[in-house]
């Protein structure tokens, strides 16, 4: 019996050792830095640093955040890095629904150093790294961890953007910088951050992997529909706002409404409460944005809304417009 136990225990030990031997250790943060650095860039607008970026294919495609680009299309766009020096770039395509812009470096015979896309989106808790130029400091690698299982939507710069939440500080100047996994593969592009009165709350926003791949493949502008207003969930409102409302009321509160935007012109007012979209009850912001994004700019959506007291319901049909 003891001999059998010893043999059985030995088999288990060998199996465990075999499994350990087969595990491939993740590269160190230092090796991630060395992998990313040659493909990383900084964007200059009329000679001034506007943020960070990275090369995403051998032909010199560069991915940055769309909000880094000025509205004036006469601005001079350049990128520079210790690896490549300083070069002009031209705009290829925009995807404002993900705060992304695709730029193009000059054609050259040899391939550009670039980052490969990750084979899958990162999972919650996985280590990730942001490479950029925070506050005009060059070549800084910032560590973080994925904070959410799936991308979601955040309202900033006048529209909802699809983003991935990452637990990390993302200072000014890192916008457009590449987020990579522990193997140095691209999983996102830095866009914005969760703030309260200008103070960073430790959560960065990154355009997710799928949106990067789609823009690079399309090489054309991707237009995302909007109602030109922000909404907030009822349970995030102050008690004084909630107290007068009917207990059974469900909906989203209209906030940051553009007065001359498509929803404002249709008759919606700030603090109105949207209760249905195309006949379906609505109470989560994520469901609201997904409903809009199932349509194209130019199409219409039907809303039912009350005033801020939950009374005087009315039906509205509003035309969607592209995010600008």
Q: What is the CATH number of the domain that holds 69?
A: 2.40.10.10
Q: Is residue 46 part of a domain?
A: yes
pLDDT at 13 over 70: no
The answer to the question of residue 26 being in a domain is no
Asked if residue 101 lies in contact with residue 64, where contact means CB atoms within 8 angstroms, the answer is: yes
pLDDT > 90 in the chain, percent: 90
| Averaged pLDDT for residues 179-208 | 97
Q: Is 220 within a domain?
A: no
pLDDT at 23: 56
Q: Which domain holds residue 57?
A: 38-104
The mean pLDDT value for 138-145 works out to 98
Average pLDDT for 82-93: 96
Cβ pair 152, 163 in contact under 8 A: yes
Residue 207, judged by CB atoms within 10 A of its CB (0-12, 13-18, 19+), counts as buried
Secondary structure element (H or E) that encloses residue 135, with its range: none
Which of 213, 240, 270 delimits the end of a domain? Answer: 213
Domain count, the chain: 3
Over residues 47-58, mean pLDDT: 98
Do 276 and 203 sit in the same domain of this protein?
Answer: no
* 267: region left, alpha or beta (phi > 0 left; psi from -120 to 50 alpha): left
- Both 205 and 229 in a single domain? no
Q: State the Cα–Cα distance between residues 81 and 318, nearest whole angstrom.
A: 46
Q: What integer best gives the mean pLDDT of the chain?
A: 93
Mean pLDDT over residues 88-98, rounded? 98
Domain boundary among 213, 235, 258: 213
Do 249 and 234 touch, CB atoms closer than 8 A? Answer: yes
**Which CATH number belongs to the domain containing residue 263 in this structure?**
2.30.42.10
pLDDT at 262: 98
What is the tens place of the pLDDT at every residue in 224-244?
999 999 999 999 999 999 999
d(C-alpha 314, C-alpha 305), whole Å: 6
Average pLDDT over residues 259-285: 97
Residues 98, 62 share a domain: yes
178-180 vs 159-167, strand pairing mode: unpaired
Apex CA 308: angle with CA 227 and CA 313, to 5°? 75
Q: What is the helix (H) or strand (E) element at residue 241, kind and residue range?
A: helix 239-242
In the structure encoding, which two tokens stand for residue 263, read together? 């929803």
Q: So what's the pLDDT on residue 24? A: 61
pTM of the model: 0.90
DSSP string, 53-76: EEE-STT-EEEEEGGGS-S-TTS-
Higher pLDDT, 256 or 5: 256
Considering the domain boundaries, does residue 31 fall inside one? no
Domain boundary (213, 236, 263) is at 213
């Amino acid at each position: 019996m003891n001999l059998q136990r010893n043999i059985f225990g030995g088999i288990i030990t060998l199996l465990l050792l075999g499994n350990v031997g087969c595990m491939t250790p993740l590269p160190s943060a230092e090796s991630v830095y060395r992998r990313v650095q040659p493909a990383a860039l900084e964007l200059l607008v009329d000679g001034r640093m506007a943020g960070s970026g990275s090369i995403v294919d051998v032909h010199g495609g560069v991915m940055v955040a769309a909000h880094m680009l000025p509205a004036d299309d006469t601005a001079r766009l350049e990128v520079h890095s210790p690896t490549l020096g300083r070069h002009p770039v031209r705009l290829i395509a925009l995807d404002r629904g993900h705060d992304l812009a695709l730029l193009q470096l000059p054609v050259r015979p040899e391939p550009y150093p670039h980052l490969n896309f990750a084979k899958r989106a990162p999972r919650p808790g996985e280590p990730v790294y942001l490479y950029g130029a925070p506050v005009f400091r060059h070549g800084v690698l910032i560590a973080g961890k994925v904070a959410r299982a799936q991308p979601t939507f955040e309202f900033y710069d006048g529209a909802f953007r699809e983003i991935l939440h990452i637990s990390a500080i993302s200072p000014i100047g890192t916008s457009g910088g590449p987020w990579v996994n522990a193997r140095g593969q691209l999983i996102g592009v830095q866009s914005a951050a969760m703030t309260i009165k200008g103070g960073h709350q430790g959560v960065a926003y990154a355009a997710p992997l799928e949106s990067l791949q789609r823009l690079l493949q399309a090489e054309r502008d991707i237009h995302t529909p909007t109602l030109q207003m922000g909404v907030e969930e009822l349970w995030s409102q102050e008690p004084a706002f909630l107290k007068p409302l009917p207990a059974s009321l469900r909906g989203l509160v209209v906030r940051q409404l553009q007065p001359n935007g498509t929803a404002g012109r249709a008759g919606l007012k700030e603090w109105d409460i949207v209760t249905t979209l195309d006949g379906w009850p609505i109470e989560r912001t994520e469901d609201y944005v997904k409903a809009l994004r199932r349509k194209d700019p130019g199409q219409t959506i039907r809303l039912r809304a009350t005033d801020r007291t939950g009374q005087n319901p009315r039906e509205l049909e509003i035309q969607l417009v592209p995010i600008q």
